[in-house]
Structure 1
């Protein structure tokens, strides 16, 4: 089955841990494979990118039905799945499994989903990596968080009355939360010191279809007409809004662009390709990204090409439905400035790595996640090589999201572990300095504008120079990336 009929996804987020335990079982002489575990093993054997490196996924494992059954039986599906990962937590940081009868959210290129409407990053308060604070990166307009009074730059110290820690931060994603905010944030030699505001803020989740084109502003410095665009997710149901933003920049005479991808965990590859053309536009029909699968699916290897058209979709029954095709509005820029952070991943990293083969890309901020592999969602549909949701077994709800391919730029260069920015900004410097989008108090935006204009811009940025530690595990505690990724789609199998 060709993957052009299958939804592929590059998922950014936390490695989900299982709370289930192996259970003891007696091997029987004529054991029969457990039906669900048989699906888990065979789907992984077929598609898992590192299948040749995992001894327990070897084809020889299935040579003896009895031995195979004794191996896979006696485990819950999630325990079996995680036991099959290649160097879990180091090499494979992203594969996961879930027990749900819905289409895996991570494999949807566009959706309305329940959330509180605030995006945040998690920061250790000290070297112990136990106590944390959550910095609100932005708030979705008219969302429950906005109505509750939360704003960009607010710092969450407690959740439901308890100090935010590595053990309870996931409660920030609960249906209803009570938040305590910091009245002040200070720096000492080894971390952060906060004092709390009186009172709390309650946020209840609602259905939100977030517009990822979060902010645009034209800034003029002499002959420099600088566009500042905040883009928070490559959502294909907002392709027309993204294209319209570039039409506006065309009419504004933009000749320099600051693209803010600090909070962008990924999205549609089709949209990422369109964005590259909107920025430059002179490389139509040229290769942009190369996909590499395991040896069992070498026929799926190949290039995705740049195009001067973009598809426009609408959500129907929470699925992207093709409406029309638009010509891409391009700025024809030979150089751009991209703001990045430890939350920048997947399609955002692809944009940097692939676009820089055609134009000059200057990065500013903090190291990115480092996600240059991807996945397809696997279902219990063996006759369709485990890739069909419509033809899945309805006897259970288990679905897999294993890494199934790696991706590269057009020259197939070896990818870095993470993208290290050209101009490094201490991630803790954002505390006390994040106000509304576009304010030059923002240290990353300030640096970009200074590079473009050659001027030193005056602002009242508060310094974090006294903080002596730099935590390299910030991204691993950022749960906001969990539902984002890179998706490669062909909509022949969807409603038109």
Structure 2
């Protein structure tokens, strides 16, 4: 952070007025937030009156680190605003576009309390990216992590799972006691080092046939605009397979590109071209950005050039013409995934199965130190520092502008702890959520060797505060093409 020197002379004979210079980085933080932050009118310290006096303004913003200033400006942080963040990245990338190569070990996980104290935790591996370090280390979907770097996983150290290199201890067995998960550890450990990964979010597709029902099961793990063509190709495959029922698995999808979300709706149905799909609402300084995003019969295809999504061409959208879909959800389902449910159900029947979602009905833009372009230009940013902001800049509504719920409560609830004993490879009907979807579609009871936690267990029914570290913010924002010159 730059230094600012203040004249401290108290010479009564001096006619000079002391002037304090605003810190350069903090000036960027405050002014970018003043312009774009969705709740700026609710935050007294973001009022335009703050800059009426240069001295008072400088004294207010100086003396804080950029992150301390940023978080002090959030509106009811942790309750109303749970998702804004700031970062100082030594290799700044344009994170406003969820279409990038990023450092990862290649495994997605959810964090669960191990007991009633919510201190000791375990991590359940949702899936492993093919050919990633995690895959090469032998990790697989359904593995349970009990220790990180030799220590019991807790609320104080679970963030170490995101270290550039991490040593994991896995459970050999998992059971349910009266008030806790009971685990025994495997001997030995697994070490995973991060590498550059451009994860394909179109993770799995399978056709299942039950009589006249051609059921497509599609696992979609991120709304990434550089994979729009792969998503469109998956729907072309389903179309050629004669799919007439769809189970869309969004349990591990934290959001991403708004453009991809709009295209997905068209791929599912396709009968409402040019109709309004989602309404975006910005703060009163950016009312010109407010408006509808309409359904289109085209999807834009991007490739990464220097880790930046670059437009290549338009493709005609492949549509299944479905009037009903089944969506699998979890406490990790957020943002553009929730948008898909809330907005699509205005046009077709959307049946949700699983656990309550995150409740993130807001989006953001990345803001850079580029005041001449209203802090939105990555190319014109200052290179004197690496600070960049990811504040909430808009909220969204369905086409009728209905008030969003706190979270999406599924139509058919599946206790998340039931997955511990049954989370095998994608497509296996032991998966309780997939099993329920198939039963709803077919009207049949599928007999599997599914294991459930004791229904009378106080642990299972206590609705413990299961949480996931990625739910804190990163990866859970909607990419907004509209305000970046679509």
How many Å separate the matches in 2 of 1:430 and 1:192? 13
Contact 1:122 1:478 in 2 (8 A): no
- Pick one of 432, 435, 453 that aligns with 2:424: 435
Aligned to 1:474: 466
- Pick one of 141, 160, 164 that aligns with 2:149: 160
Aligned to 2:406: 417
Aligned to 2:11: none
Residues 481, 296 of structure 1: alpha-carbon distance in 2 compared, 3 angstrom cutoff: closer
Aligned to 2:341: 352
Give 1:80-95 correspondences, 5 Å limit: 80-95=69-84
Aligned to 2:481: 489
How many Å separate the matches in 1 of 2:94 and 2:432? 34
Match of 1:474, SS? coil
Q: CA deviation at 1:469?
A: 4.5
Aligned to 1:41: 30
Measured against aligned partners, the alpha-carbon deviations of 1:10-31 in whole angstroms (never above 9, x if no partner) come to xxxxxxxxxx9xx9x9996432
Contact 1:121 1:480 in 2 (8 A): no
Aligned to 2:303: 314
Give 1:239-388 correspondences, 5 Å limit: 239-388=228-377
Aligned to 1:32: 21
Q: CA deviation at 1:481?
A: 6.6
Q: CA deviation at 1:472?
A: 5.4
Aligned to 1:5: none
Number of aligned residue pairs: 472
Q: CA deviation at 1:488?
A: 2.0
Residues 481, 117 of structure 1: alpha-carbon distance in 2 compared, 3 angstrom cutoff: farther
Aligned to 1:196: 185
Higher Cα radius of gyration: 2
Contact 1:106 1:485 in 2 (8 A): no
Aligned to 2:15: none
- Pick one of 80, 97, 119 that aligns with 2:86: 97
Q: CA deviation at 1:170?
A: 1.0
How many Å separate the matches in 2 of 1:245 and 1:150? 26
Is 2:447 the partner of 1:458? yes
Aligned to 2:100: 111
Measured against aligned partners, the alpha-carbon deviations of 1:3-47 in whole angstroms (never above 9, x if no partner) come to xxxxxxxxxxxxxxxxx9xx9x99964322222111111111111
Measured against aligned partners, the alpha-carbon deviations of 1:62-119 in whole angstroms (never above 9, x if no partner) come to 2222211111111111111111110011101111111125445642221111211111
Q: CA deviation at 1:200?
A: 0.7
Contact 2:279 2:399 in 1 (8 A): yes
Aligned to 2:12: none
Measured against aligned partners, the alpha-carbon deviations of 1:196-233 in whole angstroms (never above 9, x if no partner) come to 00111111112211111111111111111111111111
How many Å separate the matches in 2 of 1:491 and 1:210? 26
Contact 1:237 1:313 in 2 (8 A): yes
How many Å separate the matches in 2 of 1:458 and 1:468? 23
Aligned to 1:392: 381
How many Å separate the matches in 1 of 2:88 and 2:439? 49
How many Å separate the matches in 2 of 1:48 and 1:205? 33
Q: CA deviation at 1:245?
A: 1.0
Match of 2:315, SS? strand
How many Å separate the matches in 1 of 2:483 and 2:74? 31
Contact 1:293 1:300 in 2 (8 A): yes
Contact 2:146 2:169 in 1 (8 A): yes
Residues 492, 140 of structure 1: alpha-carbon distance in 2 compared, 3 angstrom cutoff: same
Is 2:223 the partner of 1:234? yes
Aligned to 2:199: 210
